[in-house]
Amino acid sequence: MSKHYTAKDILEMAVNLQEPDLSADMDGDGKITPGDARLAFDGVDVPDPAMVMSRTALDRLMNAPSFRYDGESDPAFQRYREMYEAAGSRAAEDAFGLASTHTGGYGSSYASTVANDAYALYMDKLAAKSGELEQQAYDRYRDERSDLYRQLEAAKDQEDRAYARDLDAQKRQDTLAKEAADRQYRAERDAKEDGFRERELDNKDREFGRNSLNDLIGFAFDAAGEGDYSYLAALGVDTSALTKKDALAAAETYAKYGDLSGLEKLGVDVSSLKQADAMDRAAYYAEYGDLSELEKLGVNTASLKKQNAMDRAAFYAKYGDLSGLAALGVDVSRMRKDQLFDVAALFAKYGNYSLLRLLV
């Protein structure tokens, strides 16, 4: 159901006497101000946000296409395909050349088989990566539909609550209208009893006073729309909520750039934000080999250190320094450079492809 906001309602939204509804933002500046009340002097009808949200979620569910994964239109799959095809071609060429050295430098069916197997290894990796990307795409599709169902349920619950709330509000308005009608009837009866002319003069005096006060209130609201709340305060309006709102907006802006002091002064718990910053910083250092920040956070870095040692040993071994391999327990006493392929295969067996990548 829709709601009708009078100009008085919109004025009260401007000073937070009512909960602001941006659907009543008549000038489209993203906030409710006294100027919106002047633009909607006869009031404005706005749709119930819960009903709008439920219809939107239902439309998206009904019109959502079935899941279909197309690797040709997936940029991630295209990048992996280019990478694996290039790596496979290099591996095939290197494997063919290496096999040829063992057959007198001439090409052979053995060298061709070795080269094809090296290329097929990377094509198998590409096929596995395609399946992984398809599963990720399906997971995102499933999560989006689950989110839509949750949104639809939440919107339906909110719509039901809004309907009950509006029904109660209507009952209260009817009661208030009846009471106002009763008061009006008694006032008219008193006016006839006390004398019509005297009552009419009194009413004129009161109307003049109200008009003057309304002008002053209008000026105070205009000033408040520009951030000056002193005139409202002079009229007895509590402006603490407005000033606190401005302070919170400023603190949130500083927090976006890493300064959490403003939020702390407002009593906001920023421990989770600080922890997230620490984790990001530790991850950044770890990318460049500094694991100390991760260790401070209680992360077990033993596997990372071992990986770094194996990568370093593989790098030095490529240039003839086998000391790193020896420190890892590899027998390098009679090792030639061409035998490093055996070591690379051994490392790859346990998931470390660094030496293999350096050799090929």
* Residue range 303-340, pLDDT digits in tens: 766 677 777 777 777 666 677 777 777 766 655 555 66
pLDDT given for residue 307 in this prediction: 72
pLDDT given for residue 206 in this prediction: 65
**Contact, 323 vs 316, CB < 8 A?**
yes
pLDDT given for residue 134 in this prediction: 86
Which of 169, 173, 178, 147 has the alpha carbon at shortest distance from 1? Answer: 169
pTM value? 0.29
Q: What does the alpha-carbon distance between residue 224 and residue 32 come to, in Å, rounded to a whole number?
A: 11
**Contact, 88 vs 77, CB < 8 A?**
no
Q: What does the alpha-carbon distance between residue 329 and residue 295 come to, in Å, rounded to a whole number?
A: 26
What crossing angle do the helices spanning 109-194 and 49-63 adopt, rounded to 10°? 150
pLDDT given for residue 190 in this prediction: 78
Report residues of the chain scoring pLDDT below 50: 208
pLDDT given for residue 332 in this prediction: 64
**Contact, 333 vs 348, CB < 8 A?**
no
pLDDT given for residue 308 in this prediction: 73
